[in-house]
Structure 1
């Protein structure tokens, strides 16, 4: 999705900017390349800086409920220091590296409802203007895809995906938000959990997989949430028996095998009281965990869709769900940026 916008701060006659990303989805921690195409205005202009911002539509929970806003999660200077002549056409190529924790927006070409963008900012003659906004598509890393595929093979269904502002305590999280993928359990776990929430935290050294179960309450006990954390490497994904590995993770999560006392000292709350506690040990940890302010749902993805044996991608292609995702993306890229937040 490409837009050409007049630099509003310079008025009529200013240069226009059109950023074109190279085709195909990117990978977390991988390259993002393209061209910033400039067309000169009715006079010569000094282009001081060309900056790319990575932006995300993020949900935030607070005392008054929930709100959505735009968060900038990385910036890159890709050009500048030249004069753009009247009417001149100039293309500035760029190549940058995405953060490892960049959220996944699609699985096997099917959108998950997560909205990311690349916004181009020009600094011209002392004025700055955000002149172009393009949709960013990100596919999962091999280990991320293997985990999602295994969950689909095990009978879990895709419910929703969103970005939550805040931090998960006890992890190596770097960005000011994290991605949650909500899954409906298969029959053999339906008696124990309402849903499972999955978060990936990638880094150059591997992948942290955070699983949270919204547990059902019994006759004499209320429901509570349990969190476990696992780590896997980036290498050797093709040799791993992912179905067995992930099934073992889920069983540990549901059965609550690990002791609360083994990691209670590592329980940390994020800015919304959504505190995840984890041990530092490689493998797993469990934690009783409470949501404050109610349970979150993804943008326009409230209907659970069964995934089946073909994997979770099947769950995001049906009717109303797909249409609502398109509406969410359109609102982000066609609306203004008055809601914008910052990195912190």
Structure 2
């Protein structure tokens, strides 16, 4: 989705900017390429900087309830230091590298309801204007896709996905927010679990997988949350039995542990599934009553438009209103800036 913007700070007759991203989804940690098209105004202008901001719509919890806003999570200078003549047409190609923790916005071509964008800012003769906003589509890394596909094969259902402002304690999280993918329990675990929440925290060497389960209570115990973390590698993804690995993770979540009730004690001894053992079996446990997240963003806010969605992860269709809402976000931004 592309919107041309007149440089409002320069008034009528200023240059216009139109950023066009290369087609297709990009991957976390991968390259994002495109071109910034500039059209000169009524006179010459000195283009000092052309800057791209990666932005995301993020939810936050606070004392007053819950709200959402736009957070910029990376910034790149892709050009500048030249004079744009009157009526001149110029294109500035760029390639930038996305952060490894960039959220996934689509799976198997279906939107997850996550709103990401690339905002272009021009700095011209001391004046700055956010001149263009384009939708960014991010697909899963191979290891992320393998884990999500395994969950689908194990009969967990996709419910919603959102971005939560805050940090997950005890992890190597870099961004100021994290993605939660909320899944309904597979029938075989329905008596033990209400749902699970999945977070990926990727880095160049591998990825932390954070799983949180909303466990059902029994006759003599209340329901509680259980948390476990695993470290996986980007290598050898195709040679692993991911159904067995992920099912082992879920069993570790639902089985009673001696660390039950601890808020911060992470133990070793997670499942060592897979032919390569270690890279897919390093786990940490934490069973608690709501102490998973630190800072704002605790809890399970459901992305608007995706509430109540209960389809399989594999080949699942996402409600049309989710896609409509993505468009509304960018259209709303356009109206706000032009207003």
Does the alignment reach a TM-score above 0.5?
Answer: yes
User: Structure 1 residues 339, 66: closer, same or farther in 2, change over 3 A?
Assistant: farther
Paired position in structure 2 for 1:278:
none
Question: How far apart are the structure 2 equivalents of 1:287 and 1:222?
Answer: 13
User: Quick one: which of 320, 330, 336 aligns to 2:333?
Assistant: 336
Deviations 1:163-220 (A, max 9, x none): 0000000000000000000000111111111110000000001010000001112233
User: Quick one: which of 283, 299, 307 aligns to 1:302?
Assistant: 307
User: Structure 1 residues 232, 329: closer, same or farther in 2, change over 3 A?
Assistant: same
User: Structure 1 residues 58, 339: closer, same or farther in 2, change over 3 A?
Assistant: farther
Deviation at 1:240, TM superposition (A): 0.4
Give the secondary-structure state (helix, strand or coil) at the position aligned to 1:120: strand
Which ranges of structure 1 fall in alignment gaps of 5 or more residues? 268-280
Contact 2:311 2:317 in 1 (8 A): no
Question: How far apart are the structure 2 equivalents of 1:337 and 1:215?
Answer: 43
Question: How far apart are the structure 2 equivalents of 1:202 and 1:327?
Answer: 29
Deviation at 1:313, TM superposition (A): 3.8
Alignment TM-score, normalising by the size of structure 1: 0.88
Give the secondary-structure state (helix, strand or coil) at the position aligned to 2:55: strand
Contact 1:112 1:316 in 2 (8 A): no
Question: How far apart are the structure 2 equivalents of 1:263 and 1:88?
Answer: 62
Contact 1:16 1:40 in 2 (8 A): yes
Deviations 1:70-104 (A, max 9, x none): 00000000000000011110000001000000000
Deviation at 1:293, TM superposition (A): 7.5
Paired position in structure 2 for 1:61:
61
User: Structure 1 residues 293, 118: closer, same or farther in 2, change over 3 A?
Assistant: closer
Question: How far apart are the structure 1 equivalents of 2:164 and 2:121?
Answer: 26
User: Structure 1 residues 222, 30: closer, same or farther in 2, change over 3 A?
Assistant: same
Give the secondary-structure state (helix, strand or coil) at the position aligned to 1:199: strand
Paired position in structure 1 for 2:201:
201
Give the secondary-structure state (helix, strand or coil) at the position aligned to 1:155: coil
Query: Which stretch shifts more, 248-257 or 53-62?
Result: 248-257
Question: How far apart are the structure 2 equivalents of 1:79 and 1:19?
Answer: 13
Deviation at 1:305, TM superposition (A): 2.1
Contact 1:25 1:137 in 2 (8 A): yes
Q: How does 1:213-232 map to 2 (within 5 A)?
A: 213-232=213-232
User: Structure 1 residues 256, 203: closer, same or farther in 2, change over 3 A?
Assistant: farther
Question: How far apart are the structure 1 equivalents of 2:10 and 2:251?
Answer: 60
Runs of 4+ in 1 over 6 A off after TM superposition: 337-340
Alignment TM-score, normalising by the size of structure 2: 0.89
Question: How far apart are the structure 2 equivalents of 1:285 and 1:339?
Answer: 45
Which ranges of structure 2 fall in alignment gaps of 5 or more residues? 268-280, 292-296
Query: Which stretch shifts more, 328-337 or 292-301?
Result: 292-301
Give the secondary-structure state (helix, strand or coil) at the position aligned to 1:171: coil
Deviation at 1:297, TM superposition (A): 1.2
Q: How does 1:84-99 map to 2 (within 5 A)?
A: 84-99=84-99
Q: How many residues align?
A: 319
User: Structure 1 residues 331, 258: closer, same or farther in 2, change over 3 A?
Assistant: farther
Deviation at 1:314, TM superposition (A): 2.6
Contact 2:262 2:287 in 1 (8 A): no
Deviation at 1:241, TM superposition (A): 0.4
Paired position in structure 2 for 1:17:
17
Paired position in structure 1 for 2:324:
327
> Aligned-residue CA RMSD in angstroms?
2.2
Paired position in structure 2 for 1:110:
110
User: Structure 1 residues 258, 83: closer, same or farther in 2, change over 3 A?
Assistant: farther
Contact 1:20 1:35 in 2 (8 A): yes
